[in-house]
């Protein structure tokens, strides 16, 4: 290694950690290989101040770099002693050499090869001495040293070496692909006859959609075939699948659940109306935070600090200024936490008591949330005279919490979603009560606490993958998620040395926020002026109409969110009524939230089996029989589950069925239904599309034509009939054309 290549060895541990964090890699301090933080890799941070605090306390600590989605890294760990280099040599002889990528010589004589994170990869042992560290963990990074020998970890490649993509043969080696990009199972156990062609074609399609070449796809499929197919297909058959998949342009291959609009376009400037927008514009050149993250968190924080005074009445319901928001990033590099620090600066300056005492984290139970805003607790106590009970009186056991404001800031919202999935969790219903009425209570004998007039707001930070992984179907259906604005955020710029926030004059902003808060706290019921009322009549139908699938469940509370946002904009302006400009600002912000939800949830139905089945039917325009559907799922899925999925898709008009006469009993065949928008896109496509192909892009438009009616087959009515297990081999060269979604799907409501 030359001096440039070894420069990391000469850095102090703190300097190395800060350098990694500047690249967006969360770090944590280590004692040898053991984390010095309470929660291990989960505590990994890119916050310079947190990093400095750690290494001031542990100056000689080693540096751990978190792998997975948060860092955008996965690492191939080659261990010296169990024969890792021999295993790697054998695999590279079979598949070709590893690409040039940043590489570390470990203290034990091994190697760490850094690759781009791939969501399909999991932590797995590939071969003796070879481990792929892809998520839920960390690696020891330079300048760390072995406690036993003092040997340092060191980079062996130049500092400007680009990070390479993970070779596809590593993804499929020993079933490391656990799920495809849509979340559907594509690997793991053996692939039986009847599903070999279909499964290898799907894996090939995933790799092609990532831009892999025919050569890489062929190598990956050959490895997958030898490892999992029982019995393996011939090499010629596998090569035919690879050629067939590679015939199509990479962007045109993606399954329905991967097909979602591009990252949401920048919001309409109207969203940055008034004081909130002016503050965002003041600091945006001096922070890496997404302006939308600062804006929406400032609005939520202001609404909570105001308290339960101003409201807008809709029939018998009152909408106060408390709001819930989820900031969703592709990784930790979205600077969600930094954005909250910037958003709360003027609020903390105006109301430090609220900032210090009425902000909490750790959203883990309904009872805990109630306790934070509880009413006084009274109990009946016996009055005794000479040992006998003569009467009873009410005694205050707990004074309760007089300040009913509570802002929950949850930087690890994925843990909240996991908690809600546990049996007996009361968190979801209490959170819904907090958004709806502020009257919180659980019907359990051991939890006497209740809260009335609670003014709860929630800010959650989560990655897209975490949200899709942990959001239960029930929580989508019962209205938990639609009480949150989902807002996509990402780092807006690169500032290696930070901005010049300390040089800005914040005093005028602080004074305006103080006046706005005093005004808001003096208000009660608010209404709309005539111009705002006229605009509301124009947009109400579009806001309140339902949409199908999981996306529809997520955005089904649109009109209520717009009401609360418009109220906040009006109060920040010191207005006595909600004006047209305030409603326009709220609509602009909501449009961005809806576009974010569409980006996050795409075309999913909320039922993993139904989603997977729809993709399979779209991949086979000739349709699939019950037997073929069973084969697609490896014959491991119960007949009842298949029937339920078919019924869901048929009810949504996404599939149709027809009966076929066979030599034996009558069979049924199912087909995906092409929507009107899909047909229009196919007709307008400049590329030739095979006549039998169906685009798998599911339209979100409100004017979709009615789908072709089914022929009357009821999936549930067939539950009692057995499924004949015959082997059906789909043609490997019949890969359908799948069109990528348009980046301009987001519709407009007004004007």
378-397 confidence digits (pLDDT tens): 888 888 888 898 888 888 88
Determine how β-strand 311-314 pairs with β-strand 525-526: parallel
Q: Which of 102, 133, 166 is the last residue of a domain?
A: 166
**Residue 147 and residue 278 in one domain:** no
Domain end point (choices 577, 601, 625): 601
- CA dist 222 and 235 (Å) reads 7
| 664 in the same domain as 591 | no
Give the pLDDT score at 705.
34
Mean per-residue pLDDT for 488-506? Answer: 84
Task: Specify whether 557 is located in the same domain as 619.
Answer: no
CA distance 367 to 562: 30
Please state the pTM of the whole predicted model.
Answer: 0.56
pLDDT band for 168, please (50, 70, 90 cuts): confident
Residue 706 lies in a domain: yes
Q: Does residue 532 share a domain with residue 424?
A: yes
Domain-located, residue 510: yes
Coil vs helix vs strand at 608? helix
> Model confidence over 394-418: pLDDT tens digits?
888 889 999 999 999 999 898 888 8
Does residue 100 belong to any structural domain of this protein?
Answer: yes
171 in any annotated domain = no
Give a yes or no: residue 436 inside a domain.
yes
Residue 468 is predicted with a pLDDT of: 79
Q: Residue 424: pLDDT above 70?
A: yes
Chain segment 621-653, per-residue pLDDT in tens: 888 888 888 877 766 667 888 888 888 788 777
Please compute the mean of the pLDDT values over residues 482-505 and round it to a whole number: 87
Domain final position from 166, 185, 215: 166
pLDDT bin (cut points 50, 70, 90) of residue 685 is: very low
Q: Is residue 171 reached through a cis peptide bond, with omega within 30 degrees of 0 on the bond before it?
A: no
pLDDT at 726 (0 to 100): 32
Tens digits of residue pLDDT in 93-146: 877 889 999 999 999 999 999 999 887 676 677 778 888 888 778 999 999 999
Least confident of 73-82, 89-98, 407-416, 574-583: 89-98
Q: Work out the pLDDT band at 736, boundaries 50, 70, 90.
A: very low
Same domain (yes/no): 60, 107: yes
CATH code of the domain containing 338: 3.40.50
pLDDT band with cut points at 50, 70 and 90 for residue 462: very high
In a domain, 49, yes or no: yes
Q: Is residue 242 part of a domain?
A: no
Instruction: Judge if 735 and 706 occupy the same domain.
Output: yes
Same domain, 532 and 619: no
Please, what sign has the CA dihedral across residues 731, 737, 740, 744? negative
Name beta bridge partners: 154.
105
Strand partners, 669: 625, 658
Residues 362 and 440 reside in one and the same domain: yes
**CA 464 to CA 474: how far, in whole Å?**
18
Q: With 70 as the cut, is the pLDDT of residue 189 above it?
A: no
Q: Is 685 found in the same domain as 593? A: no
- Name the most confidently modeled range: 220-224, 489-493, 710-714, 716-720: 489-493
Q: Is residue 596 located within the same domain as residue 664?
A: no
pLDDT at 452 over 90: yes
Residues spanned by the domain of 449: 269-380+410-601
- Is residue 288 in some structural domain? yes
Kindly write down the DSSP assignment for every residue of 212-254, as one continuous string.
--HHHHHHHHHHHHHHHEESPPPHHHHHHHHHHHHTS-GGG--
Instruction: Work out the pLDDT band at 658, boundaries 50, 70, 90.
Output: confident
pLDDT grade, residue 181 (50/70/90)? very low
The C-alpha angle with vertex 329 and arms to 261 and 591, in degrees rounded to 5, equals 50
Residue 518 sits in the same domain as residue 568: yes
Residues 522 and 565 placed together within one structural domain of the fold: yes
Q: CA nearest 571: which of 558, 557, 585, 560?
A: 585
How many distinct structural domains can be found in the chain? 3
């Amino acid at each position: 290694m030359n001096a440039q290549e070894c420069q990391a060895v000469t850095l102090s541990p703190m300097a190395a950690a800060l350098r990694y964090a500047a690249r967006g890699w969360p770090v944590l301090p280590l004692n040898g290989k053991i984390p010095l933080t309470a929660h291990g890799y989960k505590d990994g941070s890119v916050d310079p101040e947190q990093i400095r605090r750690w290494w001031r306390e542990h100056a000689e600590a080693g540096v751990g770099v978190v792998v997975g989605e948060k860092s955008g890294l996965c690492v191939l760990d080659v261990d010296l002693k169990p024969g890792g280099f021999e295993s790697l040599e054998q695999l590279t002889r079979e598949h070709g050499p590893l690409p040039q990528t940043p590489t570390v010589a470990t203290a034990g004589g091994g190697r760490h090869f850094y690759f781009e994170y791939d969501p399909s990869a999991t932590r797995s042992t590939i071969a003796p001495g070879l481990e792929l560290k892809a998520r839920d963990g960390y690696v020891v990074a330079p300048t760390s040293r072995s406690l036993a020998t003092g040997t340092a970890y060191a980079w062996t490649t130049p500092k400007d070496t680009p990070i390479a993509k993970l070779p596809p043969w590593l993804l499929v080696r020993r079933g490391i692909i656990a799920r495809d990009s849509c979340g559907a199972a594509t690997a793991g156990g053996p692939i039986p006859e009847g599903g070999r062609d279909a499964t290898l074609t799907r894996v090939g399609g995933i790799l092609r959609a990532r831009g892999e070449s025919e050569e890489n796809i062929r190598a990956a499929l050959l490895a997958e075939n030898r490892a999992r197919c029982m019995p393996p297909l011939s090499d010629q058959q596998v090569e035919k699948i690879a050629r067939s998949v590679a015939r199509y342009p990479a962007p045109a291959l993606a399954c329905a659940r991967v097909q979602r609009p591009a990252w949401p376009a920048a919001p309409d400037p109207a969203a940055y109306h008034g004081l909130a927008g002016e503050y965002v514009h003041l600091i945006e050149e001096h922070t890496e935070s997404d302006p939308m993250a600062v804006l929406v968190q400032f609005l939520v924080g202001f609404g909570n600090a105001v308290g339960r005074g101003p409201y807008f009445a809709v029939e018998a319901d009152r909408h106060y200024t408390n709001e819930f928001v989820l900031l969703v990033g592709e990784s930790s590099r979205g600077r969600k936490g930094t954005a909250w620090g910037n958003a709360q600066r003027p609020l903390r300056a105006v109301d430090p008591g609220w900032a210090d005492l009425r902000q909490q984290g750790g959203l883990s139970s309904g009872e805990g949330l109630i306790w934070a805003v509880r009413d006084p607790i009274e109990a009946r106590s016996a009055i005794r005279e000479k040992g006998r009970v003569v009467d009873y009186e009410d005694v205050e056991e707990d004074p309760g919490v007089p300040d009913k404001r509570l802002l929950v800031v949850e930087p690890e919202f994925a843990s909240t979603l996991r908690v809600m999935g546990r049996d007996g969790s009361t968190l979801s219903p209490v959170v819904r009560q907090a958004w709806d009425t502020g009257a919180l209570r659980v019907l359990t004998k051991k939890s006497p606490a209740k809260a009335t007039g609670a003014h709860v707001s929630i800010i959650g930070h989560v990655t897209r993958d975490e949200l899709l992984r942990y959001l239960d179907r029930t929580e989508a259906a019962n209205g938990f998620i639609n009480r949150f604005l989902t807002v996509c955020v990402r780092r807006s710029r690169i500032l290696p040395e930070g901005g010049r926030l300390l040089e800005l004059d914040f005093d005028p902003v602080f004074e305006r926020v103080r006046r706005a808060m005093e005004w808001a706290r003096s208000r009660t019921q608010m209404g709309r002026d005539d111009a705002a009322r006229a605009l509301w009549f124009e947009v109400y139908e579009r806001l309140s109409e339902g949409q199908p699938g999981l996306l529809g469940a997520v955005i089904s509370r649109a009109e209520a969110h717009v009401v609360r946002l418009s109220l906040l904009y009006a109060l920040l302006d010191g207005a006595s009524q909600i004006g047209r400009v305030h409603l326009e600002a709220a609509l602009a912000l909501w449009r961005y939230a809806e576009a974010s939800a569409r980006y996050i949830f795409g075309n999913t139905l909320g039922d993993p089996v139904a989603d997977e089945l729809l993709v399979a039917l779209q991949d086979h325009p000739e349709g699939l029989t019950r037997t073929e559907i069973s084969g697609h799922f490896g014959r491991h899925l119960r007949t009842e589950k298949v029937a339920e999925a078919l019924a869901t898709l048929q009810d949504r008009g996404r599939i149709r069925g027809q009966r076929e006469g066979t030599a034996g009993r009558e069979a049924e065949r199912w087909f995906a239904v092409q929507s009107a928008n899909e047909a229009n896109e196919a007709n307008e496509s400049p590329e030739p599309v095979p006549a039998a192909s169906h685009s798998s892009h599911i339209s979100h438009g409100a004017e979709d034509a009615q789908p072709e009616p089914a022929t009357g087959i009821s999936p549930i009515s067939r539950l009692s009939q057995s499924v004949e297990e015959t082997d059906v081999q789909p043609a490997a060269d019949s890969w359908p054309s799948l069109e990528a979604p348009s980046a301009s799907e987001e519709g407009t409501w007004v004007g």
